[in-house]
Chains A and B, each alone.
Chain A
Amino acid sequence: MRWAVVRFPGSNCDQDAYHVLKNVLGQEVEYVWHKETSLGGAEAIVLPGGFSYGDYLRTGAIARFSPIMGAVKAAAAEGRVVMGICNGFQILCEAGLLPGVLIRNNNLHFRCETVSVRVENAESRFTRGLKAGQVLRIPIAHGEGNYVADEKTLDALFANKQVLFTYSDAQGRSGDASNPNGSARHIAGITNAAGNVLGLMPHPERASEAILGSADGLGIFESVLAGEAAVIR
């Protein structure tokens, strides 16, 4: 599968994503600078974590106007896979490719730690290799991961099974104590209605090799690949 990792000024998880795709999963990967207007035929696009444009104004607010975002929107409309991780999630929300917005953590702390994330829907393009209710150990590293949307939007996200991941404790139980940022209904990752655009605050690319303490994130990338293999077959 051909992947593109988009680099914005201030991206800092681009190399991690590239490494996992290329060296761990043996995929074709290319970096694409945000000033480009083409994704070069990539079938899957990663908007990596970082602090694009220094998080000025709001996280992702300026990056969403980068020239490459036209191509990202077109790719999303065509049904190609788009994955926004952390700052990438923030950019996708600002770009209107995902509903809602991520604001300052309610506790004001920058949270950098490994958290438990429960799989809510294991039938999506990003989770089909996982099990519903499975608890993944994946790191977070953000100051603005507090997902906000109106009640109607939140209801729709759950009703349409667009919520793929929520924060939980190690046993998979939800609660304020295991919610690191105050995110509405403990949301950690959502897709668009069509299910091909994912945004998530946890960093699966930082948990894709046993040597890093967890390889739980790999299942998300592998789910995308499994789906692609199924289509080719």
Chain B
Amino acid sequence: MIRAQVIVRPRASIFDPQGDAVCRAIQSLGVAVKQAHVGKCIELEIEGADPQAARAQLETICHDLLSNPVIEDYVLTVHEAEAGKK
């Protein structure tokens, strides 16, 4: 079993209304936060033992489905296959 994690975050150049609302909420609680950005964390478990092959497939999925390149960037982390698990 291969585990992977995808972090999707709004581009800095795009106004992030959710981040703005969260930022204001934190400020209202008395913490001097200057900025907040709200993204997504997607955790995946993939059949197989070849992290390289999984990465190639996941890059496509990240680009086409999990993020929209017009407004978001993503970071894909693929963990090594865990010993003893398939």
B7 to chain A, nearest CB (A): 14
Q: Which stretch from A70-78, A80-88, A103-111, A155-163 is at the chain B interface?
A: A103-111
A18 to chain B, nearest CB (A): 30
| Contact A149–B15 (Cβ < 8 Å) | no
> C-beta contact mask, B8-46 vs A, less than 8 Å → 1, else 0?
000000110110010000000000000000001000000
Q: Which residue of B lies closest to A107 (CB)?
A: B17
In the assembly, what is the distance between CA of A182 and CA of B16, in Å?
11
Residues of B in contact with A, size category: 10 to 19
Instruction: Answer whether residue B68 sits at the interface, using C-beta atoms and an 8 A cutoff.
Output: yes
Interface residues of A, count at CB 8 A: 19
| Contact A103–B65 (Cβ < 8 Å) | no
Residues of B within 8 A of A65 (CB): 65
Secondary structure of the A side of the interface? loop
| Contact A104–B18 (Cβ < 8 Å) | yes
Instruction: Answer whether residue A94 sits at the interface, using C-beta atoms and an 8 A cutoff.
Output: yes
| Contact B70–A104 (Cβ < 8 Å) | no
| Contact B70–A148 (Cβ < 8 Å) | yes
In the assembly, what is the distance between CA of A63 and CA of B11, in Å?
23
| Contact A105–B17 (Cβ < 8 Å) | yes
| Contact A61–B68 (Cβ < 8 Å) | yes
In the assembly, what is the distance between CA of A101 and CA of B71, in Å?
8
Instruction: Answer whether residue B2 sits at the interface, using C-beta atoms and an 8 A cutoff.
Output: no
| Contact A108–B17 (Cβ < 8 Å) | yes
| Contact B17–A148 (Cβ < 8 Å) | no
Instruction: Answer whether residue A227 sits at the interface, using C-beta atoms and an 8 A cutoff.
Output: no
Q: Which residue of A lies closest to B11 (CB)?
A: A148
Instruction: Answer whether residue B58 sits at the interface, using C-beta atoms and an 8 A cutoff.
Output: no
| Contact B65–A148 (Cβ < 8 Å) | no
> C-beta contact mask, A204-217 vs B, less than 8 Å → 1, else 0?
00000000000000
Interface positions, chain B 57-71, Cβ under 8 Å from A, are: 65-66, 68, 70-71
Partner of A148, one of B18, B40, B71: B71
In the assembly, what is the distance between CA of A146 and CA of B20, in Å?
15
Instruction: Answer whether residue A58 sits at the interface, using C-beta atoms and an 8 A cutoff.
Output: yes
| Contact A108–B68 (Cβ < 8 Å) | no
Residues of B within 8 A of A105 (CB): 17
Partner of B65, one of A61, A100, A146: A61
Residues of A within 8 A of B65 (CB): 57, 61-62, 65
Residues of B within 8 A of A101 (CB): 68, 70-71
The 3 closest A-B CB pairs, nearest first, are A104-B17, A101-B70, A108-B17
14 residue pairs from A and B, CB less than 8 Å apart: A57-B40, A57-B66, A58-B68, A61-B68, A62-B65, A100-B70, A101-B70, A101-B71, A103-B71, A105-B17, A106-B17, A108-B18, A146-B17, A150-B70
Binding site for A on B (CB under 8 A): 14-15, 17-18, 21, 40, 65-66, 68, 70-71
